[in-house]
């Protein structure tokens, strides 16, 4: 039986805060509009446009999103680091004969730039999906599990009838993730391989 695991990207597999912060600061410098970049990176998860709406009038959000995305490759890729356990989690899925797919609210090309730069090699990358909308990709990929750091990731897993596995590496602690309905809560992805071994053993037993 081939199992498929979906992974969120920002603050699940990668710590993109330094690069995103640098991108917001450059956007602020170019536009003359104050953006609290530290605040912005403390609430990663929702689509870019949600954050930009805090700083720009609604009629300028689409234009600012385009400007942000133009800046992003030169400011955000190099400073970003893989979170502890990220490579091991993807490798654990592959070693068990499974597939790993990244499903993220970040646009696909930028997600792929991050993964290539960090040497992370999932089987597929789907961008531009947030919260319940992530279920579209998770169902299409027949994902059994979805791993994320945000409450929106739990909602996406639920909508796809996938097991919601949460890591407390983003804006929510373990208690908040459990309260939001996560099926499994891990401190970070370093705990994933041992959990995955037990999970696949039980899945084989039930097959």
Q: Give the number of other CB atoms < 10 A from CB of residue 10.
A: 25
Interatomic CA distance for residues 192 and 89, integer angstroms: 6
Phi, psi of 146 (to 5 degrees): -130, 125
Q: What is the pLDDT of residue 207?
A: 54
Question: Which residues contact residue 74 at a Cβ distance below 8 angstroms, ignoring those fewer than 6 apart?
Answer: none
Which of helix, strand or coil describes residue 173?
Answer: coil
Please choose, from the candidates 49, 45, 50, 85, the residue with its C-alpha nearest in 3D space to the C-alpha of residue 67: 49
Q: What is the DSSP string of 63-92?
A: HHHHHHHHHHHHHTTTT-EEPTTHHHHHHH
DSSP state of 191: G
Q: What is the pLDDT along the chain (207 residues), one digit of tens a residue?
A: 689 999 999 999 999 999 999 999 999 999 999 999 999 999 999 999 999 999 999 999 999 999 999 999 999 999 999 999 999 999 999 999 999 999 999 999 999 999 999 999 999 999 999 999 999 999 999 999 999 999 999 999 999 999 999 999 999 999 999 999 999 999 999 999 999 999 999 876 455
In this prediction the pTM is 0.95
Instruction: Extract the tokens encoding 12.
Output: 């699940």
Which of helix, strand or coil describes residue 29?
Answer: helix
């Amino acid at each position: 039986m081939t199992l498929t695991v979906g992974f969120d990207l920002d603050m699940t597999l990668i710590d993109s805060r330094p690069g995103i912060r640098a991108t917001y600061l450059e956007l602020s410098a170019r536009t003359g509009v104050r953006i609290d970049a530290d605040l912005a990176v403390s609430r990663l998860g929702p689509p870019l446009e949600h954050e930009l709406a805090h700083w720009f009038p609604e009629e300028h959000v689409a234009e600012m999103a385009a400007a942000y995305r133009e800046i992003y490759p030169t400011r955000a890729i190099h400073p970003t680091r893989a979170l502890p356990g990220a490579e091991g989690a993807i490798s654990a899925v592959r070693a068990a004969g499974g597939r790993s797919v990244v499903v993220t609210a970040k646009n696909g090309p930028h997600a792929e730039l991050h993964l290539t730069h960090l040497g992370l090699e999932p089987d597929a990358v789907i961008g531009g999906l947030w919260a319940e909308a992530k279920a579209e990709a998770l169902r299409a990929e027949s994902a059994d599990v979805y791993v994320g750091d945000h409450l929106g990731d739990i909602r996406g897993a639920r909508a796809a009838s996938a097991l919601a596995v949460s890591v407390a590496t983003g804006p929510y602690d373990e208690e908040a993730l459990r309260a939001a309905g996560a099926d499994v809560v891990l401190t970070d992805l370093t705990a994933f391989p041992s959990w995955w071994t037990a999970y696949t053993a039980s899945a084989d037993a039930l097959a």
